[in-house]
Amino acid sequence: MLLAGVLIVCAVVVALVKGWDARVTLIGAGLLMACIGGMPMAPLNAFAKSMTNSGLIQAVCSVMGFAMAVRFTECDKHLINAMASVISRVRFFLIPGVVICTYLVNIALPSAAGTAAAAGAIFIPLLMAAGVGPALAAAAVKCGTYGSMLNPGLAHNPFVAKIAGVDVMDVIAFHYKANIASLIVATICITVIAHILKEDKGHIPEHLKVDANFKVNPLFALMPVVPILILLLGSTGLIPFLKMGVPQAMIIGAILTLVVTRTKPKDLSDAFFDGMGMAYGKILGIIISAGVFVSGLTTIGLVKWFIDIMLNNPAIVKLCAALGPFILGLLVGSGDAATFAFNEAITPYAPEFGMSQVQMGSMATLGGTLGRTMSPIAGATIICAGIAGVNPMEITKRNAIPMLCALTVGMLILLF
């Protein structure tokens, strides 16, 4: 059964690399392993249990609902243009400014592809118009698309919080230093690479103009970050009465957006609930599928075998938590499946390896996120490449060193 399990896992990796649907692949593999293990109902029970995971559904669906609401009202455009108008005045800080601003946008709008589309449409032409090479301009935007780790609605944060039995903000409070340190390192690296490759100036774009006539409404620009401000001010105790859950903050943000933009309530409501439905299908669908896959791994005995090996070799656990999700995220363009699977299968046993569950879960999350940020087949990479008119591999070539350095620094901070 162990041999069959290893072969199935290898087949899953190959299928994901070839671009097969992650949900179908994970569910199919989980069912097959459970049948071989003699417990065909185990993955079906895991599927049913994951469907009603209230903590995840509330956080993920409400955040994506709010993200769709601000996109519908075009508040995201006002936020991005407000940032662009500031950084365009300081040329020396243009590339690092774009990386950091994209990162900040991704905190407010926790979708790498959505951030790449929204921020890339402004920042990539801005950089190219300023003389930055197209591939480097796209890489700078892509480099900042992992700010969502600081958003309490990112599916991995409440997932780790649930495993550890702590509040989601406690998880963010644990890993935010490593996350920000990795951003600083990645920003410095890509700025140096731009200088070495001489792609930080001299490019003359054809038929490209940045829209300097866009009139930014400060209130509109503020709306996307309102829920994050509420959650941060409340959780840190600066304004105690603002301490609330993620769904409540998102609803307040949506209501304020409705008032400020004077959008028709029905239209904004439709956008909000469309976003919630998309979140369940796209994000929670992968979580549910990962649960089925893990159930199959458990039934066939692979999880116990893997845990036994790591118990006898504690150093392997730390290496797997860091590199496992990173490598798979790089190969398949999404760190979600690998990270959810690792966190569900291994992270509950973290104390047996001398680590806290929050620590191990944060390592897996950061590894998967950075792997996806470096991947040439990630949706955000392809979007940035399309805007810049370059091959996605050109972006990965420029992001490889920054992401590897970010991974090294981030993991060292999380470990020690």
Q: Which two tokens mark 8?
A: 């199935």
Write down the pLDDT at residue 313.
Answer: 66
Q: How many residues does the chain have?
A: 416
Tens of pLDDT, residue by residue, the chain (416 residues): 889 988 998 898 788 767 688 788 889 999 999 999 899 898 889 888 878 776 678 877 888 888 889 889 988 778 877 776 666 677 778 899 999 989 988 887 777 887 887 788 778 887 887 789 999 999 999 999 999 899 887 889 999 999 999 999 999 999 999 999 999 999 999 999 999 999 988 777 665 555 567 788 889 988 988 887 888 788 667 888 888 877 888 899 999 999 999 999 999 999 999 989 988 887 778 778 878 888 888 899 887 787 677 656 666 777 888 788 888 788 767 778 778 888 888 899 899 888 999 999 999 999 999 999 998 878 888 889 888 888 888 999 999 999 999 999 999 999 88
Residue in the structure block whose two tokens are 């921020």: 119
Q: Which residues contact 365 (CB under 8 A, 6 or more apart)?
A: 149, 156, 157, 160, 175, 325, 335, 339, 343
How crowded is the C-beta side of 357, counted as CA atoms within 13 Å? 21
Write down the pLDDT at residue 311.
Answer: 56
**Which helix H or strand E contains 18, and what residues bound it?**
none
Write down the pLDDT at residue 314.
Answer: 65
Q: Collect contacts of 231-235 with beta carbons under 8 A, ≥24 apart.
A: 231/152, 231/169, 235/167, 235/169, 235/173
